[in-house]
Structures are given as C-alpha cells and as structure tokens.
Amino acid sequence: METSSPSRLVPFLLFIAVTAAYLHTMNPTVSVGDSGEFIAASHTLALPHAPSYPLFTLLGKISIKVIPLGNIAYRVNLVSLLSGAGTGALFYFLAQSAGLSAAVAALSALLFSASQVMWGHSLTSEVFSLNSLFAVLILLSFSKSIALSGLLLGLGLANHHTLILIVPGLLLLYVLKSPGKDIPRDLTRFAGFFAAGFMHYVYGHYRAKSLIVYIFIAWYFFNYYLYINPIQSKAAFRQFFQSLGLW
C-alpha cells in the first residue's frame, strides 16, 4: 500500500527508539544459556551445537571485526540487538500490509518489540531475534518476489531451522493472493534461489569440518564394531573416513 512521506520516517524512528531501549538493557558481556557458546563460535568461526547456526556466527564475526566498541561479547550481542530492532521496524510494514493505519501499525510494532520474548532475546547472543527478522522479511517479500523470498528462506535456515514453519503460511498466501500463477516457473525460481541461500549452511559445515559430528559418528561405528557386527561395521567405518580423506 502507498505511504505518505511522513509515514515513511516511522520505521526509521521505530528502529532508533527500539535500538535505544534495547541498548539501555543489553547484557554488556556473556550471559546465561547459549550466549557464551555463540560468542566463542563467532570469534573462531566454529560451529556451536546442532543445528550449528553458521549464519549467526558469521554475522557475529563481522560484528567483532567491524564494530570498534566494547568487548567481543558486547559486539556479538549487538547482532541480536540490531536484528530485534530491525524486526520491530519491519513489523510496521507488515502491519500496514494487513490494512492497519500508520498510527495503529506503529503502535503494533512497538508492542511487538516490547514483548517479553522479543525484548529478552534481543539482549544477548542468541539466534531468535535474527530468526524473527528473516520471518518478517520473507513475509514482506513473498508477494513481490518469490525468488527473493526463496533466497531469504535458504539464508534464514542457515540461522535456525524452525523458520521452516513459515512455509505452510507461504503456501496459503500463494494460493489465495497470487494472480496468474505459473506454478512450475514459480516453484523453479523459489527452489533455485532457496538452494543458493542454503549453500551457506552447507559451506559453514564444510569449513568447520563438523568435527563434533565426525567424532559422534566415529563413536557410533566404534561401538557397533566392537559389540554388534564387527565385519560390516569395519567396512562402513573405513568407507566413511575414506570419503573424508582421513583413511
């Protein structure tokens, strides 16, 4: 929907206001939960626990390198904070696309940003506010560019796999709101750009060699080899590590 010039400033003002509020309460260093793990993984470009979150760790690494303020933990925390503030600003457009006036959409965005879940996850190194940012971006872009939404979904899944839950909603939007549908063309575009975005997840695992995964599989084969089926397990064990160039 068309917006007047003054209302175009609203998302920017929302972003500034939410960023200021979040900054006032943001953790200045390592917090509880997975915070320390994500900060360490960002600093070393390693992979934290499954499903590994390579996009978040890459953004954390960029933040460490680019932002000259604070300690390493503070800089990685800013990834969550800016993602949360960006989500709040874009939520304004999402509310307007549902037919709400500029004033009601702005109030909705503020209430969303002030919710306990959104505020809490934006104060420390966690993947959830970035996940919310991708969800809003996908919903906003889907009606305008199926290719872009596919790319964003692929990238977003490199941050958190629960983003896949948005797909049923996208299918419903496609059925109800897409005029002149060309299903084969749209599906090809969506899948192709999705694959391009998701390649970051594949590359992140390749780069880090997924050492923890390899150790777990080796442990499994070792136990199977010793206690269950020595002959078959030895062959599988050898084939697996030959594929990695380690045998």
Taking only the tens place, the pLDDT of each residue in 152-189 is 999 999 999 999 999 999 999 888 876 777 888 889 98
* Conformational region of residue 31, where left means phi above 0, alpha means psi within -120 to 50, and beta covers everything else: beta
22, amino acid identity: Y
What's the CA gap between 51 and 47, in Å, rounded? 9
Q: And the tokens for 171?
A: 């299918």
Mean pLDDT along residues 89-117: 94
Tell me if 13 sits within 8 A of 87, measured CB to CB.
no
Confidence at residue 181, expressed as pLDDT on a 0 to 100 scale: 79
**% of the chain with per-residue pLDDT over 90:** 60
**Would you say the pTM of this structure is higher than 0.85?**
no
In 3D, which of 63, 51, 204 has the Cα closest to residue 125?
Answer: 63
Where in the chain are the domains?
5-203, 209-247
Q: Is residue 39 classed as helix, strand or coil in its secondary structure?
A: helix
Confidence at residue 90, expressed as pLDDT on a 0 to 100 scale: 96
Taking only the tens place, the pLDDT of each residue in 135-156 is 999 999 998 889 999 999 999 9
Tell me if 222 sits within 8 A of 230, measured CB to CB.
no
